[in-house]
Structure 1
């Protein structure tokens, strides 16, 4: 005794609705993926390409009521701006925050700045640099 198959013969009646749905999902997924890549590229360009001033903390030295911070700032020639630095106590409370200006024609500036604190600071963190 044999059982009759309820499946249609392959290729005889066109594509099934499952295959059409799979193709539609692939097209939608590809379009959303391309949109996501374009969005990431847009934000990366504006974050990296348009930022005319950037910096980093090289070293810092905690003192009793201040923190000495060695900053390295890179900027476009003639561009001006400021970098914001903060310090935190051992318990995580913010004990100092200040903006330091960087102007002039130099494209790379190494500078040691003093951040005054309300109590003993244990960190120095660069929050960001902003062009004028």
Structure 2
């Protein structure tokens, strides 16, 4: 005959199943909170890195081919008031070959500058491109 099982005395032979379940639940909650905090920190650092951007930004509003040796480009530059910015513009021929490139310096003490710049070319240009802008190197 099978002997009836007598429950063991509580706390005498280690932890009970309910204590282990409670500990597992606590560990899962702590792990989830730490994981969420780590993800939030990584997201915050990444957003700060991406949103910082450049101190000098510009947009090529329009360009006009003046002759076989010249292109004019209208730039809208945004920068800090005390910063000198340098923007690079290039002119492209019909076959997409570069026929001119020049750096333009913006020293005005304004945060928004709208200026038409002239770029000399080695051949007839069909388009102009703004390559990018950066703060000027201080010597």
Q: TM-score, normalised by structure 2?
A: 0.64
What residue in structure 1 maps to residue 99 of structure 2?
95
CA shift at 1:35, angstroms? 7.2
CA shift at 1:84, angstroms? 0.4
Match for residue 57 of structure 2 among 41, 54, 57: 54
**CA distance in structure 2 between the aligned counterparts of 1:122 and 1:33, rounded to whole angstroms:** 48
What residue in structure 1 maps to residue 12 of structure 2?
none
Matched residue SS, 1:105: coil
Give CA-to-partner distance per residue, 1:5-46, whole Å, 9 cap, x none: xxxxxxxxxxxxxxxxxxxxx9xx979965763464143133
Matched residue SS, 2:50: helix
Match for residue 85 of structure 1 among 82, 89, 101: 89
Matched residue SS, 1:124: strand
Q: Which runs of 5+ in 1 are unaligned?
A: 1-25
Matched residue SS, 1:74: strand
Give CA-to-partner distance per residue, 1:81-108, whole Å, 9 cap, x none: 2100011111111111100000021221
Q: Which structure has the larger Rg?
A: 2
RMSD: 3.2
Counting matched residue pairs gives 118
**CA distance in structure 1 between the aligned counterparts of 2:97 and 2:103, rounded to whole angstroms:** 18
Q: Where does structure 1 differ by over 4 angstroms across 4 or more consecutive aligned residues?
A: 29-36
**CA distance in structure 2 between the aligned counterparts of 1:68 and 1:40, rounded to whole angstroms:** 38
Name the CA shift for 1:89/1:32 in 2 (closer, same or farther; >3 Å): farther
**CA distance in structure 2 between the aligned counterparts of 1:40 and 1:79, rounded to whole angstroms:** 26
What residue in structure 2 maps to residue 21 of structure 1?
none
Q: TM-score, normalised by structure 1?
A: 0.67
